[in-house]
Amino acid sequence: DTEVTQTPKHLVMGMTNKKSLKCEQHMGHRAMYWYKQKAKKPPELMFVYSYEKLSINESVPSRFSPECPNSSLLNLHLHALQPEDSALYLCASSQERIGGSPNYGYTFGSGTRLTVV
């Protein structure tokens, strides 16, 4: 299995809703990431988990709450979002650096397209 699976593929939510995005990988990767991608823009890093611990939080508003229950799963909990949060949310995973090996296997999921109404 060489994939990162994200669910749901599409999500429409109101500004008062609570929802969660899910990401799963079974490649043994110990680093997992959330990115946000607005239309016609490159992805922007939101969160990095390394060995199930949050290692980087790129000043993301608290209405986005990540969770890494185990090494294969990554969630992004959403609450009280704004219409400007509508975007494609991408999950990725990778190996940790192993002696500088280039085979880090950085892999993106297909994303969840989120629309906040």
CB nearer to other proteins: pick between 66 and 111: 111
Residues that bind other proteins (CB under 8 A): 4, 6, 31, 33, 40-43, 45, 48, 55-56, 90, 92, 94-97, 100-102, 104, 106-111, 113
Q: Nearest approach, Cβ of 43 to other proteins (angstroms)?
A: 6
CB nearer to other proteins: pick between 15 and 56: 56
Task: Compute the distance between CA of residue 43 and CA of residue 14 in angstroms, rounded to an integer.
Answer: 24
Among 34, 24, 22, CA closest to 2: 24
Q: Nearest approach, Cβ of 16 to other proteins (angstroms)?
A: 27
Reported in sequence order, the residue ranges of 71-108 that DSSP labels E, i.e. its strands, are 73-79, 87-94, 107-108
Q: Nearest approach, Cβ of 86 to other proteins (angstroms)?
A: 15
| Location of structure tokens 């990095």 | 48
CB nearer to other proteins: pick between 15 and 115: 115
Amino acid of residue 69: P
The answer to whether 90 and 5 have CB atoms below 8 angstroms apart is: no
Q: Nearest approach, Cβ of 12 to other proteins (angstroms)?
A: 15
Distance of CA 98 to the CA centre of its chain: 23
